[in-house]
Amino acid sequence: MPVDVTIDPDVLAQAAGKTAVITGAAGGIGAATAALFSENGANVVIADLEFSRKAAEALITSLAYPDRAIFVPVDILNWADMQNLFKTARSKFGRVDIVVANAGIMETSQVLDMDAVDKNGDLLESHEAFKVIDVNIKGTLNTVRLGIHSMRNNGETSGSIVLIASTSGYFGGTGVAAYITSKHGVVGLLRSSQMAAEKYNIRLNAVAPFFTPTHITANFAEAWKASGLEANTPRDIAEVILQTSLDRTRYGTSVLACGRIRRELENTRSALIEDWMGDDVKQLMGGAGKLFASLGGYPLPKKRE
In 3D space, the residue among 29, 13, 76 whose CA is nearest the CA of residue 237 turns out to be: 29
Are 205 and 163 within 8 A, CB to CB? yes
Active site residue 179: yes
Query: What does each C-alpha distance from 261 to 11, 150, 211, 255 come to in angstroms?
Result: 19, 33, 12, 10
Total Cβ atoms within 10 A of residue 221: 15
Write down the H helix ranges in the chain.
9-12, 28-39, 53-62, 79-93, 127-133, 140-151, 168-171, 177-192, 194-199, 221-227, 234-246, 266-271, 273-277, 279-294
The model's pTM: 0.93
**3-class SS of residue 47:** strand
Are 211 and 224 within 8 A, CB to CB? yes
Spot the catalytic one: 65, 170, 179, 251: 179
**Mean of per-residue pLDDT scores for the chain:** 93
- For 61-118, the pLDDT digits (tens) are 999 999 999 999 999 999 999 999 999 999 999 999 999 999 999 998 899 999 999 9
**Domain ranges (residues) in the chain:** 9-271, 272-305
The domain at 9-271 falls in which architecture? 3-Layer(aba) Sandwich (3.40)
How many residues are listed for the chain in this entry? 305
- For 244-294, the pLDDT digits (tens) are 999 999 999 999 998 888 999 999 999 999 999 999 999 999 999 999 989
Are 241 and 21 within 8 A, CB to CB? no
The residue type found at 216 is I
Are 25 and 73 within 8 A, CB to CB? no
